Structure 1
Amino acid sequence: MKVLPLHLAASQKKTQSLKTLLDSGANPELCDQLGRNTLHLVIANWPSVSSNWIGPHSKFRSIMAIMQQQAEDCLHVLCEHGVNLNARLQSHRQQSALHLAVAHQAPSAIAILASRGASINATDHFGMTPLHMAAGTLQTEITSCLIQQGADVNRVVRQSGNSALHLAVQAATKKFCKTQDTDLSCVEELLVGGASPNVKNAAGCTPLHEACLGGREEVVDRLLQHGADLNKRTHLGENCLFLFLTQTSNLKSTGLLGKLLGLTSPLSVVDAKGNLPHVLKLPRYTTQKDQLVRLAQQPRDLLGICKVHMHQHYNESSRTFLKDRLPEKLYNFVFQQWDCPLDVELNETHETEEFVPLDFAPPLPY
């Protein structure tokens, strides 16, 4: 298929050529064979270099900075000529320019598009907004940029009902994530930006349910600090402890297991139909099953009741107040000490089946 001069100018970031062609009447809405118009091509060819793999004063970074400025200039030219900022890709995903900006890690493009009137909460064919895409890939800078531009942090994906926080937690609990700091920074950005830690998806799962299922104690702690309710149940009557116990590898996380046992109230290890997690039905976990069932049947002691009460009624800011006034040993006992009463086989390795957010699919290579 013949390449239009306007598309060539957009792809190569030739600002003056782009302006001249538009002034001469070239139509920026015409699409190429992949369904991309002139605006999409500018975004799809956006220069992006991770700060992790080049130095701050390198010649390469300087060159990339010049290229990025050229891309921004092209974007401004298109906006000044009245291009449709909400035009969708003519492909099965039907993404907007903002979706493409997320896929190509272009925060400055997001800021320009949003300031010029692009719909920050536009959805693609699957009902995902740009924020859903950014959160699902733990892009903290992009997530922050979208929130600053007014993205709805509690909007959910059409079919699954997952919020951006659900998707970020699902991604952060996967074993192949980059670093713990990266995982938590994106989750934290959403929470500080107003994301509800207690919103339920179509299955009745909150972000905390997802974190417990993935067995990442750091993510669980961060959600609890922001007011997540540990005792909410899914539509099948599963609490956080139940979901944690459905993954064999989670049994090695004795710290998180002890915390869930200490804070779940009333203590229960069955769903709405009285079923135990399938892992506990395996012969090798008979001992743990018997211990858990016995523990759930016993009344909680007074110290345990007090700890649950303290956690339910004192948020993070209140705990800072208490930490300055309570003896260190008492504070640590109430908020940081969780003993696991089970005999867990720490030396046996059982891989967890990977779970992938159904809403999220990696962006296509444009």
Structure 2
Amino acid sequence: MGNITKRGSRDFAADSAVLLEGSLATALHSRLYEAIIKEDCDTIRTLLRNHPVNQPLTLLASSTGYRFLSQQTQPIFPIHLAAEYRKPQSLLCLLQHGADPEVRDAQGLTTLHLMLLNWPVTSTTWTKPSTRIQKILTDIQNNAVLCLRILCDHGAQVNARVDNSNKHSPLHLAITYGTYPVLSFLAQNGAQVNAINESSMTPLHMAADILNKNMIETLIACGANVNCAISSTGNTALKLAVCTASSKAGRLLAAGVGCIRLLLNHGAQVNAQDHEGQTALHEACFGGREVIINLLLEFEANVNILTRNGESPIYMYLQRSSNIRDVTLLARLLYRTYPLRLSNKQGALPAGIMLPEFHLLRETLIKLSKKPLTLEAICKRNIRNVYGEKYKFQLKKLLPAKLWNSIYGIYDFTYLLK
């Protein structure tokens, strides 16, 4: 019995020592955490003598009054803490004492990744902050920029990918989280502007997909390839922008025209085809948004390109009943289309004109598709398609007035469609 008592005493003493050691470690972690938040660099330097700079902090939720750790479920590295809270002096102090900016958390994120994920969303449109709130927001933004500069100056890898299924680069993260002000800074520090993620999308693809004109403009200025195609689909930035702008939300918000024009003005190939053979005009015609269709036609979009399944842009337009009711736009597309192909490779007609309410229109269009044009009419139509609206007045200076009027004389299909 005496031996058992002695062993119990030793175990108790050992457990007490472990508890004491744990309490001291918790106290040390808490003090270091608070010093980083308060940017008390003297205390940080002192505490780093007993805490390795690249060892994570582990704190109890009740050990600090800060909101962050009450939600923290994983240990956090000191450098991550300084970056997430945008504490430039603490960040610099930690880096000077050997903190590794590439150390990753449990989600596979580096310090730079975490900076971008926690970038402040503020609207600092004022020239000089005049109110207390404006000053606070300006300071937050300035601290974020300063932290980013410090990280890059100390060797942060601006092309390091997130270690998860997306494989986003810092530029991809900046697009995802709306931090477009940092795009040019990252590019100037060596970020690959045409890097692809796991879905083979470049930052420009992502910016075009969400119709963010500022991001598109910045990426193009930094050397983004406007005609890079996604390997899995063949979609270009232009096709993605047209798709979003032609969607229901795009129509309701009247969004995307500026983005599409920006891409076209910077050399986006208007007739580029994806893996299914669709062009931006196919997508725009299916959406039926007139301003987008007219913009693509202005930049010489070809109305006669067929998809791999034999579908023309007008075939896509006739798929939806809401499009067909816009007789004026339908007539404009018919005016440019030759030959008029109403069926695809399987012989199927567009779903829209198969509805009973469009019975007469269907019969009219079938007759038009079977009516050949004269050689003269075909030549005039080809000239209109090649020069389009964009160059027709330049052509007017080169051609005799009678010939020009003959080419651009309006043949109204509208009366046939009513």
Same fold (TM over 0.5): yes
CA contact (8 A) 1:310 1:334 kept: no
Secondary structure at the aligned position of 1:66 is classed as helix
Q: Tell which has more relative contact order, 1 or 2 (C-alpha 8 A, sep 6+).
A: 1
**Does 1:170 find its partner at 2:243?**
yes
Partner of 1:295: 368
**Does 1:196 find its partner at 2:282?**
no
Q: Distance in 1 between matches of 2:179 and 2:169?
A: 14
Partner of 1:282: 355
Q: Distance in 2 between matches of 1:233 and 1:157?
A: 20
Aligned amino acid, residue 300 of structure 1: L
Partner of 1:44: 117
Partner of 2:292: 219
Runs of 5+ unmatched residues, structure 1:
345-366
Partner of 1:348: none
Partner of 1:128: 201
Q: Distance in 2 between matches of 1:31 and 1:103?
A: 20
**Residue 301 of structure 1: how far off its partner (Å):** 6.7
What count of residue pairs does the alignment treat as equivalent? 339
CA contact (8 A) 2:84 2:114 kept: yes
Structure of larger gyration radius: 2
User: Which residue of 309, 329, 334 corresponds with 2:408?
Assistant: 334
Secondary structure at the aligned position of 1:126 is classed as coil
Q: Distance in 1 between matches of 2:388 and 2:174?
A: 37
**Does 1:22 find its partner at 2:95?**
yes
CA contact (8 A) 2:335 2:411 kept: no
Q: Distance in 2 between matches of 1:323 and 1:19?
A: 66
Runs of 5+ unmatched residues, structure 2:
1-73
Assess, with a 3 A threshold, how the Cα gap between structure 1 residues 183 and 57 changes in structure 2: closer, same or farther.
farther
**Residue 303 of structure 1: how far off its partner (Å):** 8.9
Where does 1:1-366 land on structure 2 (aligned, <5 Å)? 1-49=74-122, 59=131, 60=133, 63-177=136-250, 179-180=253-254, 182-300=255-373, 305=378, 308-315=381-388, 318-321=391-394, 334=408, 339-343=413-417
Q: Distance in 1 between matches of 2:118 and 2:375?
A: 63
Secondary structure at the aligned position of 2:206 is classed as helix
Q: More deviation in 36-45 or 64-73?
A: 64-73
Q: Distance in 1 between matches of 2:135 and 2:405?
A: 51
CA contact (8 A) 2:324 2:352 kept: no
Deviation string 1:258-298 (CA, Å, 9 cap, x unpaired) is: 11111011122122333211222333322221111011112
Partner of 2:61: none
**Residue 255 of structure 1: how far off its partner (Å):** 2.2
Q: More deviation in 135-144 or 251-260?
A: 251-260
Q: More deviation in 59-68 or 156-165?
A: 59-68
Q: Distance in 2 between matches of 1:288 and 1:335?
A: 24
Q: Which has the higher helix share?
A: 2
| Identity between Structure 1 and Structure 2 (%) | 36
Q: CA RMSD in A?
A: 2.7
Q: Distance in 2 between matches of 1:48 and 1:336?
A: 51
